[in-house]
Amino acid sequence: MNVIEATGITKIYGSKTVVDNVDLKVKKGEIYGFLGRNGAGKSTFINIINGIIKPTSGSFKLLDEPNLKKVKHRIGVLPDYSTFYDSLTAIDHLKYYAKISGYKVSTEHCEYILKRVGLLEHAHKKAGKFSFGMKKKLGIAQAIIHNPDLIFLDEPTSGIDAESGLNIQKLIVNLQKEGKTIFMTSHNLHEVEKICTRIAIMKNGRILNEGTLEELRSHYMSSIHVDIKHSPFPQKELILKFLETVGRDIKTTENRTSLVVDSEEKIPLIIRAFTKHKIDIYRVNVHEPSLEEIFLNDNLDVVAK
């Protein structure tokens, strides 16, 4: 089942198209990472499918339901900025939020949720005394207090310390294991690479590409760096001639060869050729591009779908 299904979502402010004809599907149980530089249109898109902003055109369904009001109680949201009442404690906030959403929650349940986000020791502290990171955790607690099936997290780990960030990542993975679907934005590419099951890259309001990390890699990757440690070449010219047919940027020393190939299918061909020429292989290192390398590639438009 598609938990999120958006079709042709567009938002135009004046003469600026901020979200440009976005189609997007997210399946149940995914941790979907929504990536893009500042101003790409991510928050605007999330706000549209959460009913906060009206799209200029396009339609969407959440949890298989086009009428957002009918499923609102099954959705949790950490918005791009949360506001809290300075004089209310963390527990007060959770109870208040649950109440206005139509739930009654016990103090024990609030404490359990605060424990999950790493805020239990501050359960009775007033939000006015909270740091930015603590407010972020409280925002996440608020998003999950009512046990929603679909959770939107806009930059859940930005502005919090590294250890808390890792705890939030664990929490997100645990929520997924409990059967929830998570849609998150993040500027932390390492985090997205680590926990997201699918990723969409947005630029200037458009989805340039989406898929699993492997799919994105194979889409954007045309340069695989292969480095081989081996026994000395008996006939160097022969093997060099062969390598020129499968790769480029070939560099060799007596027992080391490196080259760049455009697909991983070339790697077994190289290994077979070495074996045929009675060259022993001790080690093969293959460098695949990280999400950061894919993401920072400014030529993304050129190769977009």
Ligand X SMILES: Nc1ncnc2c1ncn2[C@@H]1O[C@H](COP(=O)(O)OP(=O)(O)OP(=O)(O)O)[C@@H](O)[C@H]1O
Residue 210's nearest CA partner among 66, 1, 36, 18 is 36
**Out of 33, 36, 156, 165, which residue is the one contacting ligand X (CB under 6 A)?**
36
Please, what is the minimum distance in Å from the beta carbon of residue 42 to ligand X?
4
Segment near ligand X (CB under 6 A); pick from 34-42, 65-73, 188-196, 271-279: 34-42
Least separation in angstroms between residue 239's CB and ligand X is: 49
* 43 binds ligand X per the rule CB under 6 A: yes
Least separation in angstroms between CB 188 and ligand X = 12
Nearer to ligand X, 13 or 85 (CB): 13
41-49, 91-99, 107-115, 297-305 -> range binding ligand X (CB under 6 A): 41-49
Cβ atoms of residues 80 and 155 within 8 Å? yes
* Interface pattern 58-97 for ligand X (x via CB under 6 A): ----------------------x-----------------
3-state helix, strand, coil in the chain (%, to 5): 40, 30, 30
Q: Is 15 a binder of ligand X (CB under 6 A)?
A: no
42 binds ligand X (CB under 6 A): yes
DSSP state at residue 235? S
Q: Does 18 bind ligand X (CB under 6 A)?
A: yes
Of 37-45, 67-75, 259-267, 290-298, which part binds ligand X (CB under 6 A)?
37-45
Q: Is 159 in the site for ligand X (CB under 6 A)?
A: no
Q: Which of residues 168-207 bind ligand X (CB under 6 A)?
A: none
Instruction: Identify the residue among 41, 156, 165, 247 touching ligand X (CB under 6 A).
Output: 41
Measured in degrees and rounded to the nearest 5, phi and psi for residue 294 equal -65, -50
Q: Does 6 bind ligand X (CB under 6 A)?
A: no
Size of the site for ligand X (CB under 6 A): 11
For ligand X, which is the closer residue by CB, 18 or 141?
18
> Which residues here bind ligand X, judged by CB under 6 A?
13, 18, 36, 38-44, 80
